[in-house]
Structure 1
């Protein structure tokens, strides 16, 4: 067992720090709710399942990417921090990846609108990290590459999602204006690109901590299934990958990634936190 997993730190028993934990829980849960509902995370996922006005040809893959980023990454990250504030690193890591992805998507497509998500997301993430400073470093799993099947599956996600990023950028650059839909005034194309960055970078990081970062595995696995469904079910809509093979690869990768990896170190310890 890695040193980072061997011991659980404990909060000093003071009223100030107990109040801090309570404030963190409240802030994190509110932020998770905002990402999932007012920012349309769940709504856009529901759209891909046909729970929307059928008279409009929704850009299903773009809706899936927006919904996945806001629900399976952002809301899940905040939800983790709210549920397990004494082991915040996995949740904060997801939020950091989402912030990075939005910044990259904004830069690559020369679109400043995603900064309206990236800046407040990064600010709230930083605030939570400061409030939980005594617990951040101890809850970071030790990174060590070991040639195991789960680590290999995670590694395969790097080229898979890098391809998603490249295809999204090309499609966005040649797409006619207005083809990408928008939510709260933000175009979906750079957000879809951001999702690819999150999973490509996240897969690379996951290769050395795949047994500990159960939250990441489920986040990425559910995202892969949602993206695969949108591509396979609606191949002619904006944002879909250029060939159905991509959808098959996504769903197989996501299912394999979410499989139990033998040890459930993080989840078991998190319940006690």
Structure 2
């Protein structure tokens, strides 16, 4: 059991990175709340674009950073997920003729590399902590209060924040789980590769054409980020680790719900493809949960074998 001297500074940095992606300047949770309660008619026109940006920055970036803050033992999968997202964002940005997206790639890579260096040598196994549950409950309490006060927009945002933190708390309890040798993740990714790639290509085309609506966050157009969402979900589903499988599965389900709720809006593939994305995401999520359960049973079996038997006379 060993924790490096820079463990707590690294965890604080991970929290800052998570808040940066989820709140400011990334606006991940803010944008994810827009399709729930749009603050104005102009925002509702870009509901799917807003939601897509929110899914990437909240579920696929902020959640892994939150996981590291809560339990650095899960850093390998969490940091790997951040790197995958960063690389895909840069790729889709370049293909869209938007090289400025490479700044996001560099930023995420720098954050991941810094945390990996600071947490090098960490072997301490994380345990469930009561304050984790309190941390997850606070945003929901705020949402309930805002709802009572009639602040629907604030309530929606705080509810999204609570959901993101709760997911991170759950994943942080999984600790360090090795990648699966099962071919099923690759099969699931292959099955969805064509439709997700087609969707990403359409989003790249929309960015290149300057298709309306133009939605900008941090100086970056949302269309290439929609493309990044599709490609990233394929990569994370194929990985074979329960943490990226869970986040990508939930992100696909969220996207499917958006497509069904806003079938005629920009960046929406329509109701049928929305249902397909939801079902596929549920399948990926189910595999992640089953993989976690299998790993837990293996750990329990190993612990029983390693525990010496004591005879009392």
The TM-score bracket by the shorter chain reads 0.7 to 0.9
**Match of residue 84 from structure 2:** 97
Does residue 258 in structure 1 map to residue 285 in structure 2? yes
For residue 264 of structure 1, report the CA deviation from its aligned partner. 5.4
> CA 1:184–1:88 in 2, change beyond 3 Å: closer, same or farther?
same
**Corresponding residue number in structure 2 for 1:74:** 61
Residue 203, structure 1, aligned to residue 237, structure 2: yes
Aligned residues: 242
Q: Report if the CA contact (8 A) 1:162-1:197 is conserved.
A: no
Alpha-carbon deviations, 1:71-93, whole Å to 9, x = none? 00100110111111133111111
TM-score by length of 1: 0.79
Alignment match of 2:114 (pick from 99, 112, 127)? 127
CA shift for structure 1 position 65: 1.4
CA deviation map 1:113-148 (0-9, x unaligned) = 222321111101011112223349x947244135xx
Deviation track 1:197-234 (CA, whole Å, cap 9, x = no partner) reads 2111111212xxxxxx3322321122012211221111
Using the size of structure 2 for normalisation, the TM-score is 0.70
Map Cα deviations across residues 169-216 of structure 1 (whole Å, 9 max, x no partner): 22442554453411111001111111112111111212xxxxxx3322
Partner secondary structure for residue 121 of structure 2: helix
Match for residue 30 of structure 1? 16
Contact 2:203-2:224 at 8 Å conserved across structures: no
Shift of 1:267: 11
Residues 87/234 of structure 1: CA separation in 2 closer, same or farther (3 Å cut): closer
Q: CA RMSD in A?
A: 2.6
Q: Secondary structure at the match of 2:72?
A: coil
Aligned to 1:185: 219
Does residue 166 of structure 1 match 2:152?
no
The answer on whether the counterparts of 1:162 and 1:200 sit within 8 Å (CA) in structure 2 is: no
Kept after mapping to 1: 8 A contact 2:38/2:44:
no
Alignment equivalent of 1:219, drawn from 215, 230, 247 = 247
Unaligned runs of 5+ in 2: 124-174, 300-313
Structure 1 residue aligned with 2:147: none
Distance in 1 (CA, whole Å) between partners of 2:194 and 2:100 is 23
Write out aligned runs for 1:14-29 (5 A). Answer: 17=4, 19-29=5-15
- Of residues 226, 229, 232 in structure 1, which corresponds to 2:260? 232
Distance 1:162 1:43 in 2: 30
Cα drift, residue 59 of structure 1: 1.6
